[in-house]
Amino acid sequence: MKILAIIPARMGSSRFPGKPLEKILDKPMIGHVYDGVRKNPLLTSTVVATCDIEIASFIESIDGRCVMTSTHHKRATDRCADALEILEEKNKLKYDIIVMVQGDEPMINPEMISEGLQPMLNDSSIQIINLMGRIETETEFKDPNVVKVVCNMAGNALYFSREPIPNQQKIKTNNIFKQYGIIMFRRNFLLEYLKMNPTPLEKLESIDMLRIVENGITLKMVLSKYNIYTVDTPTELTQIENMMRNLSN
């Protein structure tokens, strides 16, 4: 199986402009993500998809691979689908599975990619898998930058929201979950996603995966054994830097 990891990243984040190149422990955040992803042994290749020369220049400076995509993409998943088409045309090959890892996941452990890939490798009917983790604090539960997800009895996504769902009292149960920006797609499904029109709830919540849920497509969620945190603000950057420093000591 040819498995391609794509890390979408752009400088124009509305909540934290320029964050991919903000440093954590003296390394740009996108460098932490790239190094963490490419250590996974199941991957055929790892690339960064961006529309910004600054990001591309840094990735090339660490001997990484980068693909330049359109400046018009508003969703990371759209950028990944664009990058896939560019790479396949350039290299004259087709990948089987695409792993999207958001460029603001500097705490990613390479084993998380295997967690998401294994069910897909075992069951050819699964078209998409999204990793999730447990929410352990009320602060995180109420944080609009943390995307919450609720699932059905089969472990498939019912809804994603930036609001506290399913119920604010449920924080006491330790059974509420957050979406991780680590998503596995079958190749053909990712290209189908690119052709789908943005959906009302996707635009309202600003969450890519709602396009899939609103179209009635099964989206499998997999609970990771790792608890990681995403960088959405300068304050979170400092907090995560302190966490990573403590982990490295």
**Can you give the CATH number for the domain in which 211 is found?**
3.90.550.10
Question: Is 249 a domain residue?
Answer: no
Peptide bond between residue 164 and the one before it cis (omega within 30 degrees of 0): no
Question: Is 177 a domain residue?
Answer: yes
Question: Is 219 a domain residue?
Answer: yes
Nearest partner of 9 among 63, 42, 57, judged by Cα: 57
The pLDDT value recorded for residue 136 is 86
Are residues 135 and 177 in contact, defined by beta-carbon separation less than 8 angstroms?
A: yes
- What is the share, in percent, of the chain residues with pLDDT greater than 70? 97
40 alpha carbon, distance to own chain's centre: 15
Q: Which amino acid is at 30?
A: I
What confidence category does residue 171 fall into, taking pLDDT thresholds of 50, 70 and 90?
low
- What is the share, in percent, of the chain residues with pLDDT greater than 90? 86
Between CA 148 and CA 146 the distance in angstroms is 6
The pLDDT value recorded for residue 173 is 61
How do residues 129-164 score in pLDDT, each as one tens digit?
999 999 988 899 999 999 999 999 999 999 999 999
The pLDDT value recorded for residue 10 is 93
Question: Is 198 a domain residue?
Answer: yes
Residue 186 confidence (pLDDT) above 80 = yes
Can you tell me the mean pLDDT for 17-37? 95
Strand pairing category for 45-50 and 3-8: parallel
Question: Is 246 a domain residue?
Answer: no
How do residues 73-117 score in pLDDT, each as one tens digit?
888 999 999 999 999 999 999 999 999 999 999 999 999 999 999
Between CA 122 and CA 44 the distance in angstroms is 18
How do residues 214-237 score in pLDDT, each as one tens digit?
999 999 999 999 999 999 899 999
pTM reported for the whole predicted model: 0.94
The pLDDT value recorded for residue 16 is 86
Q: Would residue 52 be called left, alpha or beta, if left means φ above 0 and alpha means ψ between -120 and 50 degrees?
A: beta
Between CA 162 and CA 141 the distance in angstroms is 9
Between CA 127 and CA 31 the distance in angstroms is 29
Q: Which domain holds residue 110?
A: 3-235
Are residues 109 and 226 in contact, defined by beta-carbon separation less than 8 angstroms?
A: yes
Q: With residue 24 as reference, give the H or E element that holds it.
A: strand 23-24
Domains held by the chain: number: 1
Between CA 246 and CA 249 the distance in angstroms is 5
Question: Is 183 a domain residue?
Answer: yes
